[in-house]
Chains A and B, each alone.
Chain A
Amino acid sequence: MTKYEEFLVEKGLFITAILSIIVIILIIGFIFQQGFPAMEHVGILKFIFGMNWSPSDDQYGVFTMIIGSLGITALSLLFAVPLSLCCAIFLAELAPRTVRRILKPVIETLAGIPSVVYGFFGLIVLVPIMRVYFGGTGFSMLAASLILTVMVLPTIISISEDALRSIPVEYKEASLALGATHWQTIRNVIFPAAIPGIITAIILGMGRAIGETLAVIMVAGNVAQIPNSIFDPVRALTSNIALEMGYATGIHYSALFATGIVLFIMIIILLIIANYFHYKKKVVIGGGYL
C-alpha cells in the first residue's frame, strides 16, 4: 500500500514537472510557427535589422524596437540596482526590527500594484513633469525607465535581501571577531558572499522590466525610431505586439509573432549572459556553494 502510494506521488510529481516544460515547448512552437511566415516574407536579417516599421506599407523591421527595449531595460536597471541593493543591505543588516516590520510590507505592496496603475500615474504625473523640465513631448525612454525602476524595485529588494540573510552567521561573527567594523564586514564579507543571489535578483528584475508592456505603452511614446537621447520617445518590442495585435491580419499578424520570437531570443541571450556571471561568481564553501 505505502509502496503504491510512493509510486503514485513520485510519478505524479514527475508529470507535473514535465507538464510545465511541455506547455513552454508548445508555446514556443506556436510562436515560431505563427511568426515564421513573416520572417520568410521579409527575410530574417531584414526583419531584425530593418529600421522601418510601417505595416500599412509592408515594411517590417524591428531593430528600432530592439534598441528601445534594451535601452529602457538597461536604464531602469541602472537606476534600480543601486537603489534596491542599498535598501536590501539596510533591511538585512541595519534596520531595527520595528522599521523592518513596516518597510518590508510596504515594499511588497509595490509589487502588488497593477501595471496599468503605474502607467496611468506615469501618463498623468511623470510625462508632464518631463515635458516641463526636459522639453520635447515628455513621452520618453527616461519616463518609461523611471516607471519600470519603481516596478522592479520590490523584486530586486526582496530577493537580494533573502540572499544577504542566507549568509551563515559564522561569517559575520568571524569578521567582527577579527576587528572589522560592521560596514567593513558588510562590504568585504557579506556582500561578496551574497553576489550569486543578488545576480539572480537582478536577472528576475530584468525579466520583469523587459517584459513589461502596458506601463511602457502609456509613457514611452511608442515611436519606432532610434532615440537620440534618453528624452526621445521609443517603442519597445512588447509594446509593438500589444499595440497592434488587436487589428493585425495576414503578414502583419505574423510579423507581430515574429516580434515575439525576437523578444524571446533576446531574453534567452540575456539570461545566458546573466547565468554565466552567476556561475563565475559562485562562492565555494566546504562541499557546496551558496
Chain B
Amino acid sequence: MNSKYLIGIIVAIVVIIGAYFALAGSSNQQTIQIAGSTSVQPVAEKLAQAYMDKHPNVKINVQGGGTSVGITSAQQGTADIGTASSKPKDSDAQGLVQTQIAKDGIVVIVNNANKVSALTINQTKDIFSGNVTDWSKVGGSSGAISVITREDGSGTRDGFQNIVMGGKNGTKIVSNAIVQSSTEAVLQAVKGNPNAVGYISLASLNGDVKAVTINGVAPSEKTVSDDTYKIVRPFIFLTKGQPTGIVKDFIDFTMSAEGQNIVKQAGAVPMTSS
C-alpha cells in the first residue's frame, strides 16, 4: 500500500522533471532581468508579457523590491533593467541611463461620506504630518482624522513623501498613522472609515472611495499627463550605460505607440499624451 504510493509519487516527479527539461532545454533563450519598484512592476509585467508574445525566444523576469533595489541592481548589473518610481538622486544614478516610460498620479482618497472634496497641497501636508487633526479645520464636518499610510520603502509612499512632504529631509508622516501594506488594504481601510484619509496610485482608484482635488485640480489621466495635477511621479527604466541588444529592443518597444498603449492599459499614464 505504502510502497505503491511511494512509487507513484516518484514516477510523477520523474515525469514532471523530464517534461520540464524536454520543454525548457529545447531552445536557446535570451533573458532580460527586470527588478525594482513595486509600483512599476505591474506595468513592466504587462509590457514583458506582450514582448514575449512577439518574441518567443526572449524570457523576461520581472521582480519587485522597491526603487532602491531597482537602482542598486541596475548599478551592480544583477538586473538588466532597474525600475524606479521616483527620480534617483544624482549620486545614486551615476553611470545609469534613465528612460522615463510613464507617469503616475498619486491620489489622496477619503471616504465617500466625507464632505471634504478639495484640498491644497499644503493642507494635505498638514493632515499627513499631524498638524491638522480634525476634518473641520479643512472644511469638513468635525471628526478626528485618521491617517492611513503605506509601509516604509513602498514606492507610493516614497513618491508621496517626495512630492507632498518635501522629500527625504522634509516633514515626516505622523508617527501614529495606521500602516497598511498594500493599495488594496488602504482602499478597504478608507472605505470602512468615514474619517480616514489615505493615498493610492491613480490606476487603483475606484468608486469605493472619493478622490479629492489637489489645488483645485481633479486627478485624471489628462491632468496627470499635462502636469496640471501636482502629485505626479515618474516611472523610470534604469540601465547601466546605453542599452544594447534585446534590452534596447525591449525599451524601444516600451516607448513605441504599441508599448505606450500597454502602459495605458496597465493603469499608468503614457508619456505621449494623445
Contact = CB atoms under 8 A, between A and B. Distances in A.
A247 B153 contact: yes
Given A243-B181, A247-B154, A225 B188 contact: no
B69 interface: yes
Nearest to B174: A223
A91 interface: no
A66 interface: no
A246 B65 contact: yes
Interface string A106-137: 00000000000000000110011001000011
23 contacts: A54-B172, A123-B192, A127-B189, A127-B192, A128-B192, A131-B193, A136-B146, A137-B178, A137-B189, A217-B181, A222-B151, A222-B180, A222-B181, A223-B179, A225-B176, A233-B178, A243-B152, A243-B179, A244-B153, A246-B38, A246-B66, A248-B153, A249-B68
B185 A55 contact: no
Interface residues of B, number: 27
Contacts of A137: 146, 178, 189, 193, 196
B143 to A, nearest CB: 11
B72 interface: yes
Interface in A237-278: 242-244, 246-249, 252
A242 B152 CA distance: 12
Interface in B142-164: 146, 151-154
Given A56-B152, A123-B185, A247-B68, A131 B179 contact: no
**5 closest cross-chain pairs (CB), A and B:** A247-B153, A247-B66, A222-B179, A243-B151, A128-B192
B151 A225 contact: no
A63 interface: no
A127 B148 CA distance: 14
A166 to B, nearest CB: 27
B200 to A, nearest CB: 16
B189 A139 contact: yes
Given A131-B193, A137-B146, A247-B66, A123 B188 contact: yes
Interface in A46-92: 54-57
A136 B38 CA distance: 31
Contact of A246 (B64, B178, B185, B192): B64
B88 to A, nearest CB: 13
Interface string B56-76: 000000001110110010000
Given A55-B153, A128-B193, A137-B178, 8 more contacts: A54-B172, A123-B189, A221-B178, A222-B181, A223-B178, A243-B179, A244-B152, A247-B153
A138 B181 contact: no
User: Size range of the interface on A?
Assistant: 20 to 34
B265 interface: no
A147 interface: no
B247 interface: no
Nearest to A222: B179
Nearest to A125: B192
B54 interface: no
A123 B187 CA distance: 11
B65 A222 contact: no
B177 interface: yes
A139 B181 CA distance: 13
A190 B7 CA distance: 45
B4 interface: no
A257 to B, nearest CB: 15
A131 B190 CA distance: 12
**Which of B38, B153, B177 counts the most chain A CB atoms within 10 A?**
B153
B175 interface: yes
B89 interface: no
A56 B168 contact: yes
Contacts of B68: 247, 249
